[in-house]
């Protein structure tokens, strides 16, 4: 075989397709058995995996080979002992070869701008504008005040959240009341094209109440096709990344957002998806008028 049909993260029809990252790293790692080259820059694999995951809304499972969160983790004592004596005991490839850094816990609330910029370069963000970096740094300082430990994945989530264009609807503030006794309510404030709007709604839990408030502020009949939450890092103070998939007007969009408050992250993700649908509707409107 000299041609392989494959995809990032193994996404595909039905059972999926062969995962590019697994094939490439197998060839690179065991070049003695597979004396071939692919011409692929393997240090871009991790960023490509993260991008595909964000765009598709499919979270990479922790035990996924090469790009899963556990691929280079060593938790049990015997694993750690063997790894420290000889890294090749449990790692037949280095994390750096796919674009991961050796250390994942490097930043804190006392870290300055220079250190933050260097960390962004290490993570592969080499072409960010000054305004984007300043915005990410400001949100990093806010996060560092909330969390004891800030990991690389936290910083990646911060940058991804900040790269939102054409925001017709912007988040201002949210207050929720929840618990077993109810009713669960949400008081939401958004700006729609610069105009401040508020709503207070109830729902079956704080997430449902929050989504109802968004619909009251910006009425629409788009369907929620997917809602999922996963922790960016470990710990009770970890950021929660929420993925929302909306279906409407023959379009499907994915919105992602992260925050230490899962309800806030859910609101931001839904608003991001709504903004994408609004923007796509505007882009296709001239074509519809012309036809």
Report residue 193 as tokens.
């094209």
pLDDT at residue 82 in the model: 52
At 257, is the secondary structure helix, strand, or coil?
A: strand
pLDDT of residue 77: 47
Check residue 76 and give its pLDDT: 43
- CB neighbourhood size of 193 (10 A): 9
Helix axis angle, 152-162 to 113-122, nearest 10°: 90
Contact call for residues 69 and 62 (beta carbons, < 8 A): yes
Q: What phi, psi does 274 have (nearest 5°)?
A: -60, -45
User: pLDDT, tens digit, for every residue of 12-67?
Assistant: 877 778 899 999 999 998 888 888 989 999 998 988 998 888 888 788 888 888 98
State residue 68's pLDDT score.
86
**163, 135 contact by CB (below 8 A):** no
> What sign results for the dihedral spanned by CA atoms 75, 81, 84, 87?
negative
**Identity of the highest mean pLDDT range in 155-164, 255-264, 274-283:** 255-264
Length of the chain: 291
Q: Which residues pair with 199 in a beta bridge?
A: 188
pLDDT digit string, tens, across residues 183-233: 999 999 999 999 999 999 999 999 999 999 999 999 999 999 999 998 887
Residue % of the chain over a pLDDT of 90: 33
Q: Residue 160: beta bridge partners?
A: none
Strands (E) located in the chain: 6-7, 18-19, 105-107, 150-151, 169-177, 184-192, 195-203, 223-231, 240-248, 251-259
Q: Which pLDDT does position 106 carry in this prediction?
A: 56
| pLDDT tens figures, 102-117 | 554 457 777 888 888 8
* pLDDT single digits (tens) 136-171: 888 888 888 887 778 777 888 888 776 666 689 999
Tell me whether residue 92 is exposed, middle or buried, using C-beta atoms within 10 angstroms of its C-beta: 0 to 12, 13 to 18, 19 or more: exposed
The mean predicted confidence, pLDDT, of the chain is 83
The pLDDT value recorded for residue 83 is 44
Give the model's pLDDT for residue 78: 46
């Amino acid at each position: 075989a000299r041609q392989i049909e494959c995809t990032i993260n193994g996404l595909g029809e039905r059972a999926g397709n062969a995962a590019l990252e697994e094939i490439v790293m197998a060839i690179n790692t065991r070049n003695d058995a597979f004396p071939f080259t692919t011409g692929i820059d393997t240090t871009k694999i991790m960023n490509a995996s993260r991008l595909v995951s964000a765009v598709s809304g499919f979270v990479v499972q922790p035990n996924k080979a090469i790009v899963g969160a556990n691929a280079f983790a060593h938790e049990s004592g015997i694993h750690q002992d063997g790894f420290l004596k000889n890294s090749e005991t449990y790692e037949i490839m280095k994390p750096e070869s796919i674009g991961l850094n050796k250390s994942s816990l490097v930043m804190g609330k006392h870290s300055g701008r220079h250190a933050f910029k260097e960390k962004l370069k290490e993570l592969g963000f080499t072409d960010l504008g000054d305004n984007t970096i300043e915005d990410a740094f400001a949100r990093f300082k806010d996060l560092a005040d909330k969390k004891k430990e800030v990991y690389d994945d936290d910083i990646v989530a911060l940058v991804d959240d900040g790269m939102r264009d054409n925001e017709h609807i912007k988040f201002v503030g949210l207050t929720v009341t929840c618990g077993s006794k109810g009713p669960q309510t949400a008081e939401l404030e958004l700006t729609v094209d610069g105009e401040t709007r508020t709503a207070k709604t109830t729902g079956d839990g704080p997430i449902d109440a929050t989504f109802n408030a968004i619909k009251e502020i910006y009425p629409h009949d788009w369907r929620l096709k997917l809602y999922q939450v996963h922790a960016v890092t470990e710990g009770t103070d970890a950021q929660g990344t929420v993925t929302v998939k909306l279906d409407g007007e023959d379009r499907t969009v994915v919105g992602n957002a992260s925050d230490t408050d899962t309800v806030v992250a859910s609101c931001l993700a839904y608003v991001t998806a709504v903004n994408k649908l609004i923007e796509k509707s505007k882009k296709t409107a001239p074509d519809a008028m012309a036809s």
